[in-house]
Every structure is written in structure tokens, then in C-alpha cells.
Amino acid sequence: MAGLYLVGAWLILQVAETLLPIFHTPDWVLQAMVVLLALGFVPAVVFSWLFELTPEGIKRDAEVTPDQSIASTTGRRMDRLILAGVLALIAVIAADRYWPRPPSADRETAPVPAANGSTAHAPAPAAAEKKAAPVAPDPNSIAVLPFVNISADKENEYFSDGISEELLNALVRVDGLQVASRTSSFAYKGREMSSQEIAGELHVSHLLEGSVSIGNSIAI
């Protein structure tokens, strides 16, 4: 009897755990069911000890003679009921684990065509609205790009780089002016990109760039 109670209680909890969220039931409902079923286990054990099921109904165990006892038959029936409960429990657990669930609202994505013709997934409109708009760069911001050495002697490149560094160091001393770091600016040396693209990636409003030619005279 107590074993049958445990199987039945566990089956009830599994069904409740699966169905209650569909009706948006508060969490305390399932918690209350667990507490009540746990409290009911003790009376079920006591009842199984003190009483026995007979053809005439439920009687106290002390009042049942060996000739009237059908404990063996009842035990086989209980075994079948417990087995049926276990199978039902396995079915509920399998359905809960493998049954497809609809995606939650905050994870829904909308398919959009990608550049290569395939379909990509972009965030749903509700999620996209939460993204902050891009912040415009400070109008008092500048980046000094490495000057291009256009002289025939490539060894003079150190000179063009030195001029860029000196200009950058001078601009850093200007109050209220934001200057991109040397590491960030010099990362674009030799790259084929437009000024707008570089300014956007460095998040600055202005770029300082130039070229150096060294021959009989220096031209900047």
C-alpha cells in the first residue's frame, strides 16, 4: 500500500509539473502539492500496517483470520498497480523530456535573407528594439594615421612614421581633444580602407593623414 502511494504521488507530481505551467499556475501550487503528498505518506504507511483489504472490505489486521486473509492476492494486485504506475511515470517523464516545446517569446528570431542568399536569423523586433542606438563619436576627437612614405627609398619609412608619432604626441597635449591611441591608429597602416570606414572603426570625427617624400628636399 505504501509503495503504491509513493508511485501514485510521484506520478501526480510529474503530471502537475508538466501541466501547471500551461495554465500559468504560481510556483507555490506545486510546492504545496509536494508538502501535502509528503505529509500523506505517514498515514498511508500506518494504514497499511493496521488494516488489510478483504472481500468484505477493509478490516483491522488483527481481526482478519488466516482463512479470511487475501494478502497474497492483494499483493499481486498491488504489484500490478505499482508496475502500471511505474510505466505511466516513465511515459510522463519521456513525454516531458522529448516533447517539442514552443520557443519562448524572448528567444524568437525572424528569418532574414543573408548576403550569400542563405537564410539567417535576426532578433525579433521586440528584442531588436532593446538594443541601444549607436553613439555618435565626440566632435572633438581625432586619429593620426601613419604618414605614407612615397619616396623611392623605403628605408625612409621610419621618418614618415616618426612625423606621425610627433603629431600624435602634440595633439594629446591639447585640452578637450580626444586622440586615438598610436596602437589603434597604426593598425591601419597599409590597409585599403576609406577614411569614413577608418573613422567609424576608431570612433572619431576627424582623421589626420598625409604623405612624406624625401629627396633633395623634404615634402609633406
pLDDT number for residue 41:
80
DSSP H or E run through 166: helix 157-172
Give me the half-sphere count of Cα atoms (radius 13 Å) on the Cβ side of residue 208: 18
Cβ atoms of 135 and 118 within 8 Å: the answer is no
Cα distances (Å, whole numbers) of residue 207 to 12, 109, 164, 178, 190: 70, 39, 12, 12, 15
Q: What is the pLDDT of residue 105?
A: 44
Give me the pLDDT at residue 7, please: 72
List Cβ<8 Å contacts ≥24 apart for 32-37: 37/9, 37/12, 37/13
Q: Would you give per-residue pLDDT tens digits along the chain (220 residues)? A: 566 677 778 778 878 888 888 888 888 988 998 889 888 887 877 777 666 656 565 666 556 555 555 555 555 566 666 667 667 767 767 776 666 655 544 444 555 555 555 555 555 555 555 556 678 888 889 998 888 888 777 777 888 888 888 888 888 898 988 998 888 888 888 888 888 888 888 889 898 888 877 665 555 5
Residue found under cell 602634440: 170
**Domain range summary for the chain, segments of one domain joined by +:** 2-98, 141-219
Q: What confidence score (pLDDT) does residue 211 get? A: 83
What are 188's three cell numbers? 591601419
Distance (Å, whole) CA 32 – CA 3 = 21
CA-CA-CA-CA dihedral for 36, 42, 45, 51, to nearest 10: -90
Task: Look up the pTM and report it.
Answer: 0.38
φ and ψ of 81, to 5 deg: -65, -40
